[in-house]
Structure formats: C-alpha cells, structure tokens
C-alpha cells in the first residue's frame, strides 16, 4: 500500500467540475498513443488523476468547516507518486506547445482542446497548476490543519498555520491567470 500525504486545494465547489472534466478529456486523448512513445505517460496519469480527482471531488462536496482554521481550503490525502505522475504528464504534454516540440503531444492537445472548447495552453496550464498545488508540502502546517479541520480555534498556531497555508495554495492556484499565451514570434 502506498502512503499518502495531506495536501490542500482551494475550496471552489462545483467549479472543480470544469477542471476535472478538461483534465480527464486531455488524459483520455493520450490512450490511443503507442506504448513506445513519450505520451505513454497518459495511461498512468489517467489512473493517478482518477484517484486525485475522486479525493478532491469528495472534499469539494463536503460543507466547509467554518469553525476550523482554514475554511477556504479542502484538505485531501493524496499519493505522492500520483502527484509526481501528473507533473511528468504536464511536462510531456507541455512539449507540444513548444516551437518544434513534440508533434504527437501537439496533436493530443489540439484534439482535447477542441473537444473542451479551450486552448491547448490552457489545458497544460491547468494540469501544471493542479500538479503545483498538490506538490506544495505544507509540512507541519498541513498536518495541524488536517487534525483540526472542523474544530473551532480562536487563534494562535492553528490560525497562523491556516493563513500561511491558504496564502501559499491560493498563490499557486492563481499563478498564470493574468497572463496571455506568449507568441514566440513576438518575443
């Protein structure tokens, strides 16, 4: 059995559905790729995504813990190897965005983006964003917050931990939202 770690994602409720659906569609597009190519990572990434998405969906569906130290976050147990696999998939698929990059990745991104009504760069950004948030090790803050979820706290260490964790997670989650895709010819 693989151990789990506690990670935090923003509490966005039903808005998670869009991210979930688009990342599922992206990873499903990799299933037709040959097993000898770099996009084979899509198979383990799809399994990893299934486990992560199930945990996050359950956490998003639960009522927030208003008396707890971080009501704006969902604390979820995830497998570190799942997080690493999602990061590796983001790297491989991201190569399809580069000039002269991986043509098969570009094709997968194009098909998935077309089906989702979004752009290829948006799909890679969302996968990288999810990986980045899940890769944030909140260390002792995360463990304390997980233990105290739903427990009323008037301040002190728990409130400080909640503020630090929320700031880190939301900063990572919002990364790149204000940026437009860069046109390499314009650079």
In a domain, 156, yes or no: yes
* 179 lies in some domain: no
Instruction: Give per-residue pLDDT as tens, 28-46.
Output: 999 988 777 788 899 999 9
SS3 138: coil
Q: Which domain holds residue 24?
A: 5-174
pTM: 0.84
Q: Consecutive sets of 10 residues in the chain, 187 residues long: mean pLDDT of each?
A: 82 88 95 82 94 94 69 87 96 93 92 94 94 85 66 66 81 71 40
In a domain, 93, yes or no: yes
Asked whether residue 157 is assigned to any structural domain, the reply reads yes
User: Following DSSP, what letter does each residue of 64-109 receive, concatenated?
Assistant: P-TTSS-TTEEEEEE-HHHHHHHHHHHHHHHGGGSTT--HHHHHHH
Is 77 inside any structural domain? yes
Number of structural domains found in the chain = 1
């Amino acid at each position: 059995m693989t151990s789990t770690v506690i990670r935090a994602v923003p509490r966005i409720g039903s808005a998670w559905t869009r991210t979930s659906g688009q990342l599922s569609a992206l990873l499903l597009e990799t299933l037709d790729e040959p097993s000898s190519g770099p996009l084979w990572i899509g198979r383990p990434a799809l399994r990893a995504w299934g486990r992560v998405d199930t945990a996050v969906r359950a956490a998003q569906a639960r009522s927030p813990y208003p008396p707890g130290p971080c009501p704006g976050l969902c604390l979820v147990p995830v497998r570190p190897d799942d997080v690493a696999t999602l990061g590796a998939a983001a790297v491989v698929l991201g190569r399809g965005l580069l000039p002269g990059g991986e043509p098969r990745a570009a094709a997968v991104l194009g098909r998935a983006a077309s089906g989702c009504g979004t752009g290829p760069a948006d799909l890679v950004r969302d996968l990288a964003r999810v990986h980045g948030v899940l890769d944030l090790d909140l260390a002792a803050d995360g463990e304390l917050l997980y233990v105290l979820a739903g427990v009323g706290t008037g301040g002190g260490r728990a409130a400080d931990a909640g503020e630090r964790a929320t700031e880190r997670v939301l900063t990572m989650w919002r990364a790149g939202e204000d940026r437009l895709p860069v046109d390499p010819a314009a650079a």
